[in-house]
Amino acid sequence: MIECNNIIKTYRNGDNETRALRGVSFKITDGEFVAIMGPSGSGKSTLMHILGCLDTPTSGTYILDGRDVSTMSDDQLADIRSQKIGFVFQSFNLLSRATVMRNVMLPLMYSSLVSEEERAGRASQALLSAGLAKDRWQHFSNQLSGGQIQRVAIARALVNDPALIMADEPTGNLDTKTGEIVMGTFQRLNEEEHRTIVLITHEPDIAAHANRIIHIRDGVIVEDAHNHHKKVIDQSKIHL
Amino acid sequence: MKLKDLFNETTAALLGNKVRSGLTVLGIVIGIASVIAMISIGNGASSSIQANIQSLGSNLLIVTPAAARVIGSGPSAGRGSAQSLTVADATAIASQVANVVGVASEVSTREQVVAGANNTNTTIDGTDPSYTSVRNLTIANGSFFTDAEASSLAQVAVLGPTTASDLFGTADPVGQTITIQGVAFTVIGVAAAKGGTGFNNVDDRIYIPLRDAQVFMTGNQYVNDINIEAASAGAMQQVQNDATALLLQRHNISNPANADFSIINQADILSTASSITGTLTILLASVAGISLLVGGIGIMNMMLTTVTERTREIGLRKAIGAKKKDIHMQFLMESILLTFVGGVIGIVLGCAIALIISAIGVMHAAISVFSIVLAFGVCALIGIIFGYYPARRAANLNPIEALRYE
């Protein structure tokens, strides 16, 4: 459960004050698949950073999974990120000199909740959920295709069993077909495993895969509605 | 973050860039190896110089003449050129100064020496039979001349080992005849090697009785120096003072500043020599220390480059839950591991260099445990000091900016 109340974020650059978010309020319930849409400069990246606990709002409250994270310190935020949030980035951000397994296990290293013995099991589970074929698990990330790499990144986001998956332009570096497959993976995670997913994108085509779309412009929400034209990926057409 | 994870991450990162890690380690290896080798060489030189000085004789005082007096402002012939010491002075010191164990006068000249078909030019040392005990001279073969031989002007000679091989090669010189200044001497002994080198080689000389040297070579009553052996190290100062007073009185000199002789104390030579070698060791070690410093800067440089290159990785690690402390420890660990590996290799290499230098006989090098401990400590310190700043920089990166970094 995510609850944002009148979130304001201002950046100060010398005498100039930039207001990236000018009072944003919304709720996301568990199991929702929400797309946050907006052109560049709309404040959607700032919102993502706050939702992902990478940054704190200047004012307003943000309650994630029952905890107010808007006033936490850097180290407390790191703990929250480790336990409650899984990130999927546009540029994947895998360690190129590490195997798929090691990449997926990486977040567990910083978590005090998962013992060393559990790690491999957790990683295997996450990789199965993300839909990466088993014969790829010992490969290095530079031996994989773009779609496979993004699925490793999804597995890495799942490995801590987070309350929220933040996907920041996850298809931005992929071709249309591979992008569809990745979006299909998100849909399956949402429908079958009831994962809460927040997707940040500027592409209406990609946002169309979500159940709910929040439009943001100039730091305020201009539209927040159920997506009546959801584009559903036929899971049977996804070849792993 | 567990220590095992930290270690795994560190080794993976360092092995991920083997060439760069290797070159950085090399800087530390060279630094540590040179510190250890240099300190070993310095220590070795110091102990061999001290051993050389000790081998001259123990608790030794040497009386030498002062500069010959010149009339007007003519050129001085230098210290030791005056003819002011006599055998009588030596006898007086032996009988009148307390705590004197032995006295040996010396007359030295350089002469051409012939033995059969071979000849050489060497130092002829006319001295007393007590010379062997006063100057720690041991006889390897045959014997030194006796009091009876010395007083009866017997034409006998003892050869230094270098002179013996120059004149007789591998043949036994004892019983052979050599000719010095046209006077035939019978070789009665060969001294054991003392290990001298250069112009004043103590192994390249011929010992003959003092009287023989005065009669056949110098033709006067004077001696070049008087060696005095004190009973103990503690008595040396007293013997030096008493001998100075006695000689001043015998030479009728009232002002000690005008003394026509000087007395050199072996302890003074020893302390001078050790201060010289000490300075030398410090000099060598600081040159090596500079290379260690350069190695440390190399580590810092590499770590800063690494942090910049891996900015996105740092951003990712922070995004998935790494705390400042985790990132700090990871990068600090990398530099510590680099210096640790470099330090271990450097210590092994430094000891090997010291042993090789000793083995091929260039110089005696003594490896000291102190230098190894010092090198290791400095090494650990370098890892921490030069790794701290880059690690702090990594830890303080803002995750949002780090993730955006191109």
pLDDT category of residue B82 using cuts at 50, 70 and 90? low
CA distance to partner chain B, nearest, from residue A236 (Å): 32
Tokens 């609850």 found at = A3
Q: What is the DSSP string of A128-167?
A: HHHT--GGGTTSBGGGS-HHHHHHHHHHHHHTT--SEEEE
Q: Is the pLDDT of residue A240 over 60?
A: no
Residues with Cβ < 8 Å from B286, sequence gap 6 or more?
none
Residues in chain A with CB shorter than 8 Å from the CB of B313 are 93, 95
Give the range with max mean pLDDT: A40-44, B125-129, B371-375.
B125-129
Count of structural domains, chain A = 1
CA distance to partner chain A, nearest, from residue B396 (Å): 10
Q: Is the pLDDT of residue B335 over 90?
A: yes
Residues in chain B with CB shorter than 8 Å from the CB of A93 are 312-313, 315-316, 403
Query: From chain A, which residues contact B within 8 Å (Cβ)?
Result: 49, 52, 54-55, 74-75, 78-79, 81-83, 87, 89, 91, 93, 95, 97-98, 106-107, 109-111, 116, 156, 160
pLDDT tens sequence across A152-164:
999 999 999 998 9
Nearest by CB to residue B321, choosing from A78, A89, A97, is A78
Residues in chain B with CB shorter than 8 Å from the CB of A52 are 319
Determine whether the interchain pair B320/A106 forms a contact, defined as Cβ–Cβ distance below 8 Å. yes
Residues in chain A with CB shorter than 8 Å from the CB of B320 are 81-82, 87, 106-107, 110, 156
Q: Is the pLDDT of residue B74 over 70?
A: no
CA distance to partner chain A, nearest, from residue B44 (Å): 48
- A-B CB pairs within 8 A amount to 60
- pLDDT (mean) for B301-314: 93
Q: Is the pLDDT of residue A146 over 70?
A: yes
pLDDT tens sequence across B193-210:
876 655 567 888 999 999
pTM: 0.75
pLDDT category of residue B291 using cuts at 50, 70 and 90? confident
Q: Which domain holds residue A13?
A: 2-237
The tokens for B359 are: 């083995």
Is the CB of B19 inside 8 Å of chain A's CB atoms?
no
pLDDT tens sequence across B15-64:
988 999 999 999 999 999 998 988 888 888 888 888 877 777 778 999 98
pLDDT of residue B76: 65
Residue A19, domain CATH: 3.40.50.300
pLDDT of residue A141: 85
Is the CB of B79 inside 8 Å of chain A's CB atoms?
no
Q: What is the mean pLDDT of chain A?
A: 90
Whether the CB-CB separation of B161 and B193 falls below 8 Å is answered with: yes
Report the candidate in A158, A199, A156 with the shortest Cα–Cα distance to residue A179: A199
pLDDT of residue B318: 94
Alpha-carbon distance of B222 to B220, in angstroms, equals 6
pLDDT of residue A57: 93
Q: Which helix (H) or strand (E) holds B210?
A: helix B210-212
- pLDDT (mean) for A138-160: 91
Task: Pick the range with the lowest mean pLDDT from B108-117, B191-200, B286-295, B379-388.
Answer: B191-200
Nearest by CB to residue A81, choosing from B12, B319, B326, is B319
